[in-house]
Amino acid sequence: MTAHPECAPRERPRFEIGDIVRAHRDALERARPLSIDQRRALSAIALCRTAALGGHLDVCTACGHQSPSYNSCRNRHCPKCQSLAQEKWVAERLARILPVSHFHVVFTLPAALRALAAYRPALVYDLLFETASATLLEVGRGPKLGALLGITAVLHTWTRELGLHPHLHCIVTGGGLAATGDRWVRARAEYLLPVRILGAVFRGKFLDALRREHARGRFKDFDAFADPEGFERLCSAITKHRWVVYAKKPFAGPEHVFRYLGRYTHRVGIANSRILDVDREHVTFRTKDGKAITLAPVDFLARFVQHVLPKGYVKIRHYGLLAGSHVKTLLEKARALLRPERVISSAPTASSFIEVLLALTGRDVRRCALCEGTVTITGLPAPAPTPVARAPPE
């Protein structure tokens, strides 16, 4: 497997989120309460690739060059720890992809629901997954196509300015398995499903699910619902507007699909490369359209932590033909019907971290970066934790 161009070594960013966390976390915690998941994420980011986590010393046996490398925190919210995980995920998904066109469909929650999402993130995001996937499957089975689609959905919660903006990126097969199971139904080359119908069905399903959870008392302590009419007022507000479902043009080919999606699966709210300047009073970062945003460090971190997901929350899910229950049955039936003329790249068989890194990025850490000589690797243990003084038992 050849290295993907995006995996080529890059120059280390001048500023990092870890620096901001180490300098301003205490001020953030004085300014606002943090959940245990947010505190854990900040702690991991602050320690990532520092001596506190241990690591190893690379020594070239030819030229004597020494280079310490410290361990990663592996927290999924850390911008420095996603590249390898992303490439491994892409390689594994390529083994299951169907040789058909794919569409990129985005489902977005209206702004009126953002406060509720901040209050009960896991629940609201679950409803987003549930209703968006059900919408695609239902409309896909309808008269416009009449087939079972394959769907991979990835949750994002941020805007370019790090505001809260929950939405799903869905990669959808350009067609599906007929209800009879004996043929593949192809979608039109430039068109999957009508977005206005998708938006209307999505809105209806989400409202029904929201009413169900409200009846169960899942939002009983939400401030806006302290008023007996607060919930109905919210439902009325989000019913008045058309819900946004955006469908992009199909991808160029099957392999391009998950290369593209890989940029979404393991992305965090902001990359270190987007941070332009940091001082004691300000953090300046750029958006994707080149706009520069300047915030106080505490405000920057407050925006960042609102995108920390609850521990164990699954932000990549598969539905329809790609659902786990269908991988060995309906997905294989669809693959047989399509009879691909060529085999799509599969996941690497490398087992060790060094072999996986080499297979995915082309970087061999066993070779000296200066002279290509052989490198010996010696472990650098993490320092022992400082004992915490405790009062004697009463």
Indicate the angle between helix axes 83-94 and 254-265, nearest 10 degrees.
Answer: 150
Residue 52 contacts by C-beta under 8 Å, 6 or more apart in sequence? 382, 383
CA 109 centroid distance within chain: 17
Measure the CA–CA gap between 173 and 150, rounded to whole angstroms.
5
In the chain, domain spans: 95-269+316-338
Residue 261 has a CB neighbour count (10 Å cut-off) of 22
Per-residue pLDDT of the chain (394 residues; tens, 9 = 90+): 334 443 344 466 789 999 999 999 999 999 999 999 999 999 999 999 888 878 777 888 878 777 777 788 888 888 888 666 666 677 677 767 888 889 999 999 999 999 999 999 999 999 999 999 999 999 999 999 999 999 999 999 999 999 999 999 999 999 999 999 999 999 987 888 999 999 999 999 999 999 999 999 999 899 999 998 999 999 999 998 889 899 877 776 766 776 676 666 777 889 899 999 999 999 999 998 889 999 999 999 999 999 999 999 999 999 999 999 998 999 999 999 997 544 444 444 445 556 655 555 556 667 777 787 777 776 657 676 544 444 444 4
Measure the CA–CA gap between 119 and 146, rounded to whole angstroms.
38
231 in helix, strand or coil?
A: helix
Residue 367 contacts by C-beta under 8 Å, 6 or more apart in sequence? 373, 374, 375
Measure the CA–CA gap between 79 and 85, rounded to whole angstroms.
12
* CB 146 within 8 Å of CB 279: no
